[in-house]
């Protein structure tokens, strides 16, 4: 019921025009639900025009989806984002930016810095439990981007085991979606398609949708496979 959601978000934005969070959600809604890239980009630029602080801007475009689909293809946005309090988030931003622009060697330098940061946060813990699952899942993604297949799969699958969808419908689905990404990146395409099919068959979630997968360059490793369009079309035609 994305049209109805948009109606209420537009009303919320009218009542609270300074609420950046509402606008951020609307941008994600346009991308994830309907693939309205032009509308999402227009809304992003409208908000940026009213934003003076680079740090607020970074917070606003935080999130790999917005960065990969909207920011990295627009230098006017990239050049304005120059600060964040979190070194690990900065490493991820730089790594993804350079990866998407084809500077893979430079991207790996930042991925390795992020790897060190994540592994340090895990090393001091006596027990690997659900609270650490986001870091473990992200570590798997980082290893995938670095081309280290065995560790990528190990940590991606570990995160899903530690916090499955049956235990946490939201964060568990994030881990499951990231595992599908890992499979796609490291060349386990059969597993990537099987997992995407399983995810899309779940109750509608804004976390990962057919339109999101169609738009996001992260899925490029499997995009030319005939199964890609077939799977996207299968679930795009399903009623919301």
| C-alpha span between 84 and 104 (Å, rounded) | 23
CB atoms within 10 A of CB 145: 26
pLDDT band at residue 97, thresholds of 50, 70 and 90?
Answer: confident
pLDDT band at residue 199, thresholds of 50, 70 and 90?
Answer: very high
> Which helix or strand (DSSP H or E) is residue 28 part of?
helix 20-29
Tell me, what DSSP letter sits at residue 127? S
Cβ 107 vs Cβ 99: under 8 Å: yes
Average confidence (pLDDT) over 176-205: 93
Written as six digits, the tokens of 81 are 């984002």
| C-alpha span between 7 and 109 (Å, rounded) | 43
Average confidence (pLDDT) over 200-207: 76
pLDDT at position 18 over 80: no
Average confidence (pLDDT) over 86-111: 85
More confident residue, 29 or 140: 140
Average confidence (pLDDT) over 23-44: 75
| C-alpha span between 140 and 153 (Å, rounded) | 6
Average confidence (pLDDT) over 206-227: 88
Lowest mean pLDDT among 15-24, 73-82, 110-119, 197-206: 73-82
Cβ 98 vs Cβ 123: under 8 Å: no
Written as six digits, the tokens of 39 are 């509308």
Tell me, what DSSP letter sits at residue 131? G
Helices 149-162, 171-186: axis angle to 10 degrees equals: 160
Contacts of 118 (CB under 8 A, 6+ apart): 88, 135, 138, 139, 142
pTM greater than 0.85 (yes/no):
no
Cβ 72 vs Cβ 44: under 8 Å: no
Exposed/middle/buried for residue 37 (C-beta within 10 Å: 0-12, 13-18, 19+): middle
More confident residue, 169 or 32: 169
More confident residue, 20 or 145: 145
- Picking from 206, 208, 188, 186, the residue whose alpha carbon sits closest to that of residue 198 is 208
Mean pLDDT, the chain, whole residue set: 81
Backbone dihedral region for residue 36 (phi beyond 0: left; psi -120 to 50: alpha; all else: beta): beta
- What is each CA distance from 148 to 29, 115, 173, 186, in whole angstroms? 33, 12, 23, 8
Share of the chain above pLDDT 70, in %: 74
Cβ 213 vs Cβ 177: under 8 Å: no
Average confidence (pLDDT) over 35-64: 65
pLDDT at position 76 over 80: no
pLDDT tens-digit series, residues 140-162: 999 999 999 999 999 999 999 99
């Amino acid at each position: 019921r994305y049209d109805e959601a948009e109606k209420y978000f537009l009303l919320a934005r009218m009542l609270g025009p300074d609420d950046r969070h509402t606008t951020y959600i609307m941008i994600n809604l346009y991308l994830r639900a309907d693939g309205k890239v032009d509308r999402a980009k227009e809304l992003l630029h409208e908000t940026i025009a009213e934003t003076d602080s680079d740090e607020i801007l970074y917070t606003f475009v935080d999130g790999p989806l917005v960065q990969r689909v909207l920011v990295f293809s627009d230098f006017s946005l990239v050049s304005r984002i120059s600060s964040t309090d979190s070194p690990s988030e900065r490493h991820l931003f730089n790594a993804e930016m350079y990866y998407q622009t084809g500077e893979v060697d430079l991207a790996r330098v930042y991925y390795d810095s992020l790897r060190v940061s994540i592994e340090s946060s895990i090393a001091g813990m006596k027990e690997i439990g659900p609270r650490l699952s986001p870091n473990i899942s992200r570590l798997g993604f980082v290893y995938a981007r670095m081309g280290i297949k065995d560790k990528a799969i190990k940590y991606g699958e570990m995160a899903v085991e530690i916090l499955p969808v049956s235990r946490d419908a939201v964060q568990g689905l994030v881990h499951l979606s990231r595992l599908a990404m890992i499979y796609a990146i490291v060349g386990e395409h059969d597993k990537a398609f099987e997992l995407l099919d399983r995810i899309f068959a779940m109750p509608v979630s804004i976390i990962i949708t057919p339109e999101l997968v169609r738009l996001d360059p992260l899925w490029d490793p499997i995009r030319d496979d005939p199964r890609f369009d077939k799977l996207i079309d299968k679930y795009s035609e399903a009623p919301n």
